[in-house]
Amino acid sequence: MTDVASFGRTGHKSSRVIFGAAALGSMQQDRADQVLATLLEFGVNHIDTAASYGDSELRVAPWLAAHREEFFLATKTGERTGAGARASLERSLTRLGVDSVDLIQLHNLVEPAEWEVAHGPGGAVEALARAKDEGLARFIGVTGHGLRIASMHLRSLERFDFSSVLLPYNYALMSIDQYRSDVEELLAVCEQRGVAVQTIKSVARRRWPQRTDQQFSWYEPLPGGEALVRAVRYVLGRPGLFLNSSSDARLLRPTLEAAAVGGPVPADDEMVADVGQLEIQPLFDGTDLERI
């Protein structure tokens, strides 16, 4: 069973591993049902999907019909205008077959121009705050990718009282001095304000050297084994962090098994050895890939 912890100030005790429902985006329903059954086996009680994750919301819907009260449900909108964000949220509610979600998140809010629209008059933040008041969502969060996102999250938290943030976190990325500095500053603010911190790309190895049709995530994940166990512990060994599982559903069980074992953050020399042996590389370098 995976541990649980307070998801920021929401009052919900979420599993430390959150199911990243991007894994369901291109699945048939019978396979999705098998994957979702794994969540009950390991005590996962938090699902994170998005309007842009293919058919993910549709695949989650039948499961929610029977298990809605057992899960904290989060989705995302990539829209920046108020009208667009409201329409996106309403469509997500319809696709999910629910009257409300627990968390609606602004998806990958990193570009300054988009940030200004979202936070400005008539923007997405204003519309989602209104939707929250109407009971369509209980909390509002913000997510993002790339090396700039920690500093942008800090900026977002100065403008609006978000309940959660989401960002990449793994040993390779945290070895980049500026990124680590920004992340540590963000984590301190989040701890002070009771903002939940979700991590992504925690079991990433590198960008694919070559793309094929047999790949289930845009990056190459770590293979199952001790290096993956250490990557999971690198996140969960630090109190207050949540790990969103990979969009490659084949890694869900190994990730949950690693989380169940527990343990402290691995020693630095162990992580350095994994980086060398598996040629682990940071996924982001400040290029347009950050917009994924």
Report the predicted TM-score, pTM, of the whole model to 2 decimal places.
Answer: 0.96
Q: For 116-145, how does the pLDDT look when each residue is reduced to its tens digit (9 = 90+)?
A: 999 999 999 999 999 999 999 999 999 999
| Residue 287: pLDDT band with limits 50, 70, 90 | low
What pLDDT score was predicted for residue 291? 53
**More reliable by pLDDT, 130 or 224:** 130
Give residue limits of the domains in the chain.
4-291
Q: What is the DSSP string of the chain?
A: ---EEE-TTSS-EEESEEEEGGGGTT--HHHHHHHHHHHHHHT--EEE--TTSTTHHHHHHHHHHHHGGG-EEEEEE---BHHHHHHHHHHHHHHHT-S-EEEEEETT---HHHHHHHHSTTBHHHHHHHHHHTTSEEEEEEE--STTHHHHHHHHHHHS--SEEEEE--HHHHTSHHHHHHHHHHHHHHHHHT-EEEEE-TTEEEE-SS--TT-SSSEEEPPSSHHHHHHHHHHHTSTTEEEEPPSSGGGHHHHHHHHHH--PPPPHHHHHHHHHHHT---S--SSGGGG-
CATH number for region 4-291: 3.20.20.100
Q: For 154-184, how does the pLDDT look when each residue is reduced to its tens digit (9 = 90+)?
A: 999 999 999 999 999 999 999 999 999 999 9
What pLDDT score was predicted for residue 85? 98
Q: For 244-276, how does the pLDDT look when each residue is reduced to its tens digit (9 = 90+)?
A: 999 999 999 999 999 999 999 999 999 999 999
What pLDDT score was predicted for residue 152? 97
